[in-house]
Amino acid sequence: MSLKRREFLELAAATAAMSMVGLRAARAQSADVIRVGIAATGPRTSDPNQTTQGGDNWATEQMYEQLVRPEDGTFATTPDQYVPTLATEWTTSPDAKTWTFKLRQGVQFHKGYGEMTSDDVVFSFKRAIKEGTNTTILSNIADVVAKGPYEVDIQLKTPDVNLLGTSIFCNNTSIVSKKAFDKIGAEKFATDAVGTGPYELTRFDNQWGVAMKRHEGYWDTKNKAKIASAECVYIADTTARTLALLSGDVDMIEAVRAPGWVDSMLQRDSTLKFDMTAPGSFNTLHVNLNRKPFDNLKVRQAIMYAVDRHAVADALKPMGGFTAGLQPDFFPAGFKTEDLPPELQYNYDPDKAKALLAEAGFPNGFDFDSNCSQREDYSSIMLIVQEQLRAVGMRMNLHIGDHTAYHADNHMDKNTLALHSSSYPPIPTQLYFQQLSTKSEVKADGKGGINYSHYGVAMPGIDGLLDKALQSTDFKSYVDYCKQIELQVLRDLPLIGMSTLSFTVARNARVNLGYDVKSGYARWRFHRATKTA
């Protein structure tokens, strides 16, 4: 039998993949271990206060818990959708500045570190506020105070009607054992942190991954992990990761979010299952208002009519999704196209785009340069945009390069149309603050934020409305102000919502997660999962 070159390369990659996981292959067929292939080179930390990469969060999701959380496989889009976890109930003051949580009694930490109490909650929050990786959002917390062993007050500097989503259901505010931290020290805690989740850490290997076993003393006896062991194995190479799944060495892998990937996988194995979050990442296009002629509103409107955003979303299907504004229509501040004023619907109309360019003084169009990341999701979208802009006379010279260098250049204000991909919960002010507020304006020295359009500085922005939203003491007022922001951004067009892109996992049909993945962060829990041998 002869091998074609492509088959040879795939076989070599498969061999490499099998070599990477070594003897684990023999255990892979066991129904008592669930293994996920992570698209990264290795774990950085098991400390939920310190995680910065999505891969680490797959493991921390199994080992740690917060005071509240949404139902598995979803985002909570309104405050009433959060369910009790380590807290059993909570109340908020009329000014939305003091939140009181009653803690669940009898919750046991891993490895015999005893019962969780308010001391652990206070310790976890204060540590996250002081030295975690999400200090900006947590900076609104003025103090965390124990009111006895099973009750905690969280006092805020300004109101936050979305505290459950912004700060409580947050990886960085997962509750860890103060007793364990004091005993083993900060350095070792990075690879041996102790939580209350359905799985506990048994092995941390920065060359291989993270192994966990079922927490036999888990407080929620009805949801005690059904599979005895869980492993997060790091396989950065796409081909190796794919073949590890097809060979049965891993049960699930993080997907390649590019056009055609799901179809190509199904051609290899039609029994595979795909779990996708909606919306996943928000792909936004920043229009640099300091670059001519993009300071001209008619030019920005021409972009909106020239780019068929439905076509962009369709090209990324089944992972891609359309947004009429910046937020998906099922998020609190989102709009459906038909609910927008007609002048803000921007239905695809290349003739109208050409007319607007002529009115702006560019009857023959113009040329400009722009940068793009080589990562599949970035380059796929921007190549479509390039072709659609060219059709109306906006000739974009697209420079595609290294992903890390691309972001570094964006942070130094070196781009014209900068595509950005971020994931957000249904807390719209987080996107507005990070990508549109004056406080987040990009700086040429790299010390600014990711407001690459200079909105609010080059032209009036949404800072006033954003302040009102953040000062709201009831959820309805908050959503009303956010909807006003959506409309103002569609009038000014400093930022264009290009598409959403689901986080996707390909799963062996032998594994049943025990729930459907509908939305949420790029990680999901294994405690309800079952597996056939």
> What are the structural domains of the chain?
33-251+508-531 (3.40.190.10), 279-503 (3.10.105.10)
Mean pLDDT score, 510-519: 96
Mean pLDDT score, 390-408: 94
pTM: 0.85
Task: Measure the CA dihedral 256/56/61/123, to 10°.
Answer: -150
Q: What pLDDT is attached to residue 530? A: 97
Please report which confidence band the pLDDT of residue 309 belongs to, taking 50, 70 and 90 as the band edges. very high
For 410-437, the pLDDT digits (tens) are 999 999 999 999 888 899 999 999 999 9
Residue 12 has pLDDT above 70, yes or no: no
| Measured distance CA(115)–CA(349) in Å, rounded | 62
Q: What pLDDT is attached to residue 9? A: 38
Mean pLDDT score, 248-260: 90
Helix, strand, coil percentages (3-state) for the chain, rounded to 5, are 35, 20, 40
Q: What pLDDT is attached to residue 38? A: 92
Please report which confidence band the pLDDT of residue 53 belongs to, taking 50, 70 and 90 as the band edges. low
Q: What pLDDT is attached to residue 150? A: 98
Reduce the DSSP state of residue 206 to 3 states and report it.
coil
Residue 312 has pLDDT above 60, yes or no: yes
Q: What pLDDT is attached to residue 410? A: 94
Percentage of the chain lying above the pLDDT 90 cut: 82
Mean pLDDT score, 266-271: 94
Mean pLDDT score, 251-264: 90
For 451-482, the pLDDT digits (tens) are 999 999 999 999 999 999 999 999 999 999 99
Lowest mean pLDDT among 37-46, 102-111, 211-220, 362-371: 37-46
Q: What pLDDT is attached to residue 20? A: 44
∠ CA 409-411-412, rounded to 5°: 65
Mean pLDDT score, 291-310: 98
Tokens read off for 533: 């041998």
Average pLDDT, the chain: 92
Kindly list the distances between the CA atom of residue 488 and the CA atoms of 30, 88, 170, 200, 483, in Å, as whole numbers in the listed order: 55, 40, 29, 48, 9
Q: What pLDDT is attached to residue 29? A: 60
Q: What pLDDT is attached to residue 103? A: 98
Mean pLDDT score, 483-500: 97
Please report which confidence band the pLDDT of residue 377 belongs to, taking 50, 70 and 90 as the band edges. confident
Residue 275 has pLDDT above 50, yes or no: yes
Task: Measure the CA dihedral 50/65/70/122, to 10°.
Answer: -80
The dihedral sign for the CA sequence 190, 196, 197, 203: positive
